[in-house]
Amino acid sequence: MSENRNEKEEIQNLSETRPCAEFPSNDFRQEENLPEEKRVNDGIEENSPGGFNDSQSTMAFSRANDAGEKNFQEFQDLESSSSLLNRNTNIWAETLPCSSLNSGRDSSVLWRNYLALTGSKNISNQENLSLDYVLGKGNQGVVFHSMRIGTDSFRLPIALKFFTPESFKLESRYEEAMNYCAKVASAVAQIQHDNLTTVRDWFTLNGIRVMEMDLVDGYDLSQLMSNDVLFWMRQHLEKDDYEFKTKVILDYGPVRPRFKPGVALAIIRDCLNALAALHAAGIVHSDIKPANIMLKKTGSTKIIDIGAAYFYEDTPPRRFCSPFYAAPEIHCRKEVLSSTPQSDIASLGYVLIELLAGRSPFECLDEANGCRIISAKSLLDQKYELIHKLEYILPKDVLVNDKLVNFCRRMIHPDLKIRYRTAEAAVVEHGAVAELARDLVKFNLSSEYDLDIQHWIKNLNLPRKDIPLDP
């Protein structure tokens, strides 16, 4: 019984120490029979030339070295237990090839540095970031295509959003707003949903706040709903491939290209899944629009740019929205009211109608040239009337599907009692996205949309349009 207890205690002690760091290399074990003076003098003495002159660093490394020697002694004591070694040999031998560290002067410095670093509670690391070109800009600031430059030729493309202080009269107001945005960004970073942007970091440079996000390899919907896309496809795709793409994915619309119903529903379903995850964390996006929805080269959809997002039960004093895609209850007064999850659903509904129709759901001046000129009152009136005008806006291949038309109507309905209450409801309820997708399969109108989108986006090579940084 005492032997079993001792073995359990040995196992427990071993499991509580850090893997790899406590196990010496084979070189160290081969020297165990050498005189102690030889073993000690192989390392760097604290006061030797080239050693550690800083007293604090010396103390840290000394403590780490003592811990390493203690773990080394524990390892020697356990060496006679063959079952214990068999259980752990693969762990330390495969995760850290300690035998590759020589027992000479240089390796002992690395070893002490390693022990001190892994034994610390806090570490500091400076990043090198390059700013390549502007991806987009708006009222909140500018987003750069950037590169994180690491050690040993490590390069990672990222997106950096710089928040402008221009609209803040006082620096303290900017600090307060950025502190709130940082809390939202931190919450979003922990969601980790495939269809939602990934926030990697939040930091300050000379007082300016910067949010680091994953760079999405693909195109946003505002880019894809451009006649330039169909022109490029006609010029670069084989005839059969071009005809297939225009039949299944994208075709000419009255003003701009329109997406086929199956592809549009696949995009909206991904967006609803992302919104469901965001709303579950108590956050509303509040700026759903084509420019903030991207199709990746993998075929999936991702909602990006959470700069305007906020906790809907703890609304900040300053809020942003894009009027054309804001729910009617948001801008029915002079000030921007608080969003709710239902507000995000309405915004996504306007995007869906635009995808299906190949035009804005609202009548605007000079829309063909990309200009949207309309009064706030006229825009609001049209949002209340839109549910009655879908038959004049949607194309025939959509109007023949009553379920799809009703789905659009419930997404944008100005009456909150009729509009889908949650993103999950817009997916799973009767007549919602999931049922519409099953109907496409039932009537042999479906396709492998993820694969079709993947093949389309992967081979799409649109020229990059430079966005000037100057206001």
What's the pLDDT tens digit per position in 170-207? 999 999 999 999 999 999 999 999 999 999 999 999 99
Q: Cα separation of 399 and 402, whole Å?
A: 6
The answer as to CATH 1.10.510.10 being correct for domain 218-459 is yes
C-alpha atoms less than 13 angstroms from C-alpha of 392 in its C-beta half-sphere: 8
Identify the DSSP state of 392: H
- Confidence at 357, pLDDT banded by 50, 70, 90: very high
Q: What's the mean pLDDT when you consider all of the chain?
A: 79
Note the pLDDT of residue 419.
97
Q: What is the pLDDT of residues 6-55, one digit of tens each?
A: 544 444 444 343 444 333 444 444 444 444 444 444 444 444 444 444 44
* Tokens coding 471: 């206001």
Model's pTM, two decimal places?
A: 0.75
* Tokens coding 393: 């806006």
In terms of Cβ atoms closer than 10 Å to its own Cβ (0-12, 13-18, 19+), residue 289 is buried
Fold observed for domain 128-214: Phosphorylase Kinase; domain 1 (3.30.200)
Q: What is the pLDDT of residues 85-118, one digit of tens each?
A: 333 333 333 344 444 444 444 568 888 888 888 8
Note the pLDDT of residue 452.
87
Q: Where are the domains of the chain?
A: 2-118, 128-214, 218-459
